[in-house]
Chains A and B, each alone.
Chain A
Amino acid sequence: MTKAEFESAVREHQGMVYSIACNYFHNAAIAEEIAQDVFLQLYESHLSVETGTHCVAWLRRSTVHRCIDTLRRSSFRNEIQVDLMPEIPVDVPETDPFLQERLRRLIASLPETPRAVLVLRFGEDMDAEEIGRILQMPVRTVWSHLQRATALIREKASRYLKEKEDEPVRTRSS
């Protein structure tokens, strides 16, 4: 990869790399640090980028793995145990900014692998096969992570909405 190609790749894909890290950690400072490291790794890898798709795939894979490694190394892990949570299908009513924020926080509190699956699926609009290739896992495992993580987020979000609905009632009663 020449200097010009590298600079072009940074300008073109900075949003993608930064977004994956930002959605993964829900933390702008960590996201910026990870995105910078990923691009520097790209520069030092002397990757021969034959196509733009190749570069995008490399950046996605590196970013996700760096996010997972960073989370594993960090002492702060505010995780929800996905396996212990029941799958409760609840219809979530119309969205609001608070719900969006709540969803982001919930996603950022998932364990490393389901979190990565969710970020790639809904943030990067990737299918299970692509996600499986990036995370080096079978497609069935990707689906399993996706279903359980979605169910968990849905359940937590609905609990939040229910609390919100109850709030005025409690206020009135008190």
Chain B
Amino acid sequence: MSQFERDLRESLRRHQPPAGFAEQVIARARAREKRAAPMPLRWLAAAALVVLMIGGVVFVREQRRQAEAERNKQQLIVALQITSSKLNRIQGRLSAIQQRIDELRLEERQ
């Protein structure tokens, strides 16, 4: 090994970190662990919130859909009632006409 390589080795010799370095690193690691611990709870809360929101949206949509169906049903019933009354009226008229025709035929025969 040359003198120059010895100089390089000497200039790159081991340094000791400042006092308390290891304790500081260990404390930081513990602090990170503590901070990281509530994460699952936070995630659970967030997931529950998301589920609630989605559930709420689905529930409201279902309610609206049912209300719309009920409204449509009522409208259909009213429409059928109207149609039915009109048909009855027409049926009545037709019956009256038929009766009149029968009367006229009877008069002709006499």
Contact = CB atoms under 8 A, between A and B. Distances in A.
A122 interface: yes
Interface of A: 6-7, 10-11, 14-16, 18-19, 22-23, 28, 31-32, 35-36, 39-40, 43-44, 91-95, 99-101, 103-104, 107, 118-119, 122-123, 125, 150, 153-154, 157
A22 B14 CA distance: 9
A122 B12 contact: yes
B22 A40 contact: no
B3 A103 contact: no
A93 B18 CA distance: 33
Contact of B11 (A31, A43, A100): A100
B7 interface: yes
Contacts, number: 95
A18 B12 contact: no
Bin the interface of chain B by size.
Answer: 20 to 34
Contacts of A7: 22, 26
A11 B79 CA distance: 88
Contact of A43 (B17, B22, B29): B29
> Is chain A's interface secondary structure helix, strand, loop, or mixed overall?
helix
29 contacts: A6-B26, A11-B22, A14-B25, A18-B15, A18-B16, A18-B21, A19-B12, A19-B13, A19-B15, A28-B15, A28-B18, A32-B18, A35-B21, A40-B28, A40-B29, A43-B29, A91-B3, A91-B4, A92-B3, A92-B4, A92-B7, A94-B3, A100-B10, A103-B7, A103-B11, A104-B11, A104-B12, A122-B5, A123-B9
Contacts of A118: 8, 12
Interface of B: 3-18, 21-22, 24-26, 28-29, 32
Given A36-B24, A36-B25, A39-B29, A103 B17 contact: no
A153 B4 CA distance: 10
A6 to B, nearest CB: 7
A101 to B, nearest CB: 8
Contacts of A16: 14
A17 to B, nearest CB: 8
Nearest to B25: A39
Contact of A32 (B6, B9, B10, B17): B17
A88 to B, nearest CB: 12
Nearest to A95: B7
Contacts of B14: 15-16, 19, 123
Given A16-B14, A36-B28, A123-B9, 5 more contacts: A11-B22, A35-B17, A93-B3, A95-B7, A122-B8
